[in-house]
Structures are given as structure tokens and as C-alpha cells.
Amino acid sequence: MAWASSIDAFFKNFKRESQILSEETITLIKCHIQKNDLQGALSVIHSALRDIESAPLNIAVTGETGTGKSTFINALMGIGQEDEGAAPTGVTETTKERMPYPHPKLPQVTIWDLPGTGSTSFPPESYLKTMKFSEYDFFVIISASRFKENDAQLAKAIAMMKMNFYFVRTKIDNDLANEQRSKPKTFSKENVLKTIRDDCSKHLKKYFSGKPQIFLVSNFDVSDYDFPKLQTTLLGELPAHKRHVFMLSLNSVTEATINLKRDSLKQKVFLEALKAGALATIPLVGMIRDELQDLNETFNLYRSYFGLDDASLENIAKDFNMSMDELKVHLRFPNLFAEDSNVSLGKKLLNYIELISSITGGPFAVRFYYRKTYYLQNLFLETAANDAIALLNREALFEEKMGPYISKAPDYWE
């Protein structure tokens, strides 16, 4: 059946680290469709969507005080060090308890700040038990210098529990600056990074037989060094249904992360459209009116995932000494909502559906509605992702002399 192979083709389009359905789930949906069992396909899609939306994600970050653990947690979540909900940085006090940091935009995601093993004097196994190791999806072990024996033994214990861990070496920017200052003639960034990587690896290998995954990062420059690679590695190694929420929780610091978010959301929109398409039965304009409300909420969520929510935009506007209106001139998404003759996009859609409904009165209106909302969500996703990418290079964006690009309303509104 053409439908089944187009589903397969759609999901195969995406890179592994952005796929939100497992191979098994895709195969299962395909099998149901091939057997003409729409109800079966629908129930797989339904439970896949439920898993994707509600999958909890708990990340353990461990390391000694002063290594940059709190700064790393904030960098991973995309929170400014001084924002509300940020992990407090530069605090020298050591606690023996784990501290939860819920993600400010995604309640399913919590990053846990675990005390370093050195400060608890527990052997690794009891440390893991006390820290409730089974609750985490993976561990990040942080060091600001070479990794120590403690770190390697902890990793070994985590591996015994069949869980994933990643070594993160912070403050790389400091090391590079110091080397450059002390050896300005022979300084080579690549050589310094290689030396640090080899040194960490050598120390870990003394205690730990596997090939350790080491990421050299600067928490102040998350679009550089190994931070982006860390993000894609974590995504690639998470189970598929957990990727969506992790992807959304990530700081949109590179074009690659923004593209991953867009791809992840595209798959979700596609699944929702499949579900809605299979469900489309009786057209009820009232129900559609409620759903339009949801559509608005969906758009607002997308904005916040891409850092285009009002709070984020206000911060950017303040940085550049401009008003919100001046800032929005440079972005495309507000044009999608621009009201000409006081009629919003949603209202136009509703009017259209009411009109078609009154003429045909049939299920055509519903099919039309789902096709258009699917189209709109994709249009919005593309626009929001492009705006977020443009904002990454905001200096260049604001200097543009050409003026803004105005998205024209699609022809079918006319």
C-alpha cells in the first residue's frame, strides 16, 4: 500500500539522532496499514505519541565542587546563570545530597546535581545506591582537570549497572588561554586539545578498560569545542521515544540543534496528522473551534522551544537596545500572525471551514481542516526554525539593510 511506504520514507528522511520512533514502532505501524488494519495502526500511533510526550528524562551530573557542574547544568538547559531556576554557580558549599533542577520549559526533564564521590566518602556502589542510580537515563561525570581514580571507578560501577555515562572536561577555554599566554610562539589549539584529551584518556584507562567517551567543553561557549558533539551523542544513544523531549530541552545554540528540534517536531506533527486523519469522522465546527485554540497554544510552545517566546525576545531586544517591535521586524514568524483587516490566521481558517461546512456539510470540512492545520504547523515550524537560526547571527541580522522579508499569506486564504 502506497501509504505504508510513504510513512517509511517519511521517517527514514531524518538523521538517527533526531528520530523519535524506533524501527520496531515504524514497522509495526506499516504492518497494520498493509493489513488494512487502521484501528491497529491508530492504536500504535496513539501510544507512541503518549510515550513521546510523557517520557520522563532524568540526567545525573556528578563531579567535585568547583569543576563547573552548576554552570554546565545551566548551559545544557539554556538558562542564563542569573535566571530564575538556574543552578547557583560559584558557591563553594558542599552538600552530600542530590539537588534536582527541573527544566524551566519542560516539566518532564530534571537534571540532578550529584555531590562528587570524593565529598561523600562512599565507595562507588553505595554512592550509586544512595544517589538512586536507577532513576537516571544517563550520567555525566564532570572534571575541570584530569579525571581521577574516583571518576574511573564510578564509571566502572555505572557500567556494571548497564547504564550510560559520559566524561565531560570543562573550562577548556581557560586551558587554551593559559597555553596561548605562556607559549605564544608555539601555541596550537589542536595540539592543546589533543594533549588534554590524551591525558584524560590515559588516566581513565588505568582504572577503566572500555574506551571512555570524553568531551572537552567550555560552559561559556557551548557552540564550540565538543559541546555540540556531546548533545548529538546523548541524543543518538537515548531510546528513540526519549529523544523528542531531550531535543526540546536543549539550548538552541547551533544551527544543528535547531535543525534537530525542527526535525523532531516535524515527526510529531506528522504522527498527529496521521492520528487525526484516521480519526476524522463527523465534522463539528464547535470542536474545531476548540482545536484552533489548541493550535494557538501549539504555536506558542514552538516559539518557546526555539527561544522565540516573548521573554526570550525581550532579553535579546534589551541586549541590542531596541524595542520588541523593532526586533520583530527582523523575524518572519510574527508576519504569519499579522492581522490584516483585523482577521487572524486562525479566524480565517475557521471562517473558511464554516463556509465549506455549510456548503458540503460533509466530512470534507474535517479533512480540509486537518490538512490545513498540518500545513500550518509545518509552515510555522520552518519559519520559527529559520528565525531561530537567523537570531544566532543576530549582529549580522540587525545590520541587514534590505529590510525584513514578509511572509505572504498563502493563496488559499484569498
Q: Rule CB under 6 A: which residues touch ligand GDP? A: 63, 65-71, 89-91, 170-171, 173-174, 218-220
Residue closer to ligand GDP, measured from CB, 171 or 243:
171
Separation of alpha carbons 44 and 348, rounded Å: 34
User: Residues 6 or more apart from 214 whose CB is under 8 A from it?
Assistant: 147, 167, 168, 169, 197, 200, 201, 204
Going by DSSP bridges, is the β-strand pair 138-143/164-169 parallel, antiparallel, or unpaired? parallel
Which contacts of 16-19 are long-range, i.e. CB under 8 A and separated by 24 or more positions? 16/236, 17/232, 17/235, 17/236, 17/243, 17/260, 18/235, 18/243, 18/247, 18/259, 18/260, 18/263, 18/264, 18/267, 19/240, 19/243, 19/267
Residue closer to ligand GDP, measured from CB, 70 or 252:
70
Residue closer to ligand GDP, measured from CB, 174 or 180:
174
Residue closer to ligand GDP, measured from CB, 171 or 303:
171
Query: Residues 250, 257: contact at Cβ < 8 Å?
Result: yes
Smallest distance, ligand GDP to C-beta of residue 316, A: 22
Residue nearest to ligand GDP (CB): 68
Residue closer to ligand GDP, measured from CB, 40 or 118:
118
Smallest distance, ligand GDP to C-beta of residue 266, A: 33
Smallest distance, ligand GDP to C-beta of residue 102, A: 17
Residue closer to ligand GDP, measured from CB, 19 or 70:
70
Smallest distance, ligand GDP to C-beta of residue 91, A: 6
How is residue 254 annotated by DSSP?
S
Residue closer to ligand GDP, measured from CB, 116 or 283:
116
Smallest distance, ligand GDP to C-beta of residue 177, A: 8
Smallest distance, ligand GDP to C-beta of residue 353, A: 52
Q: Which residues of 350-372 are buried (b: 16+ CB within 10 A; e: fewer)?
A: bebbeebbeeeeeeebbebbbeb
Element (H, E) at 223: none
Element (H, E) at 139: strand 138-143
Residue closer to ligand GDP, measured from CB, 173 or 309:
173
Smallest distance, ligand GDP to C-beta of residue 85, A: 15
CA 239 to chain centre: 14
Instruction: Report in angstroms the alpha-carbon separations of 84 from 81, 103, 147, 357.
Output: 9, 11, 31, 48
Smallest distance, ligand GDP to C-beta of residue 72, A: 7
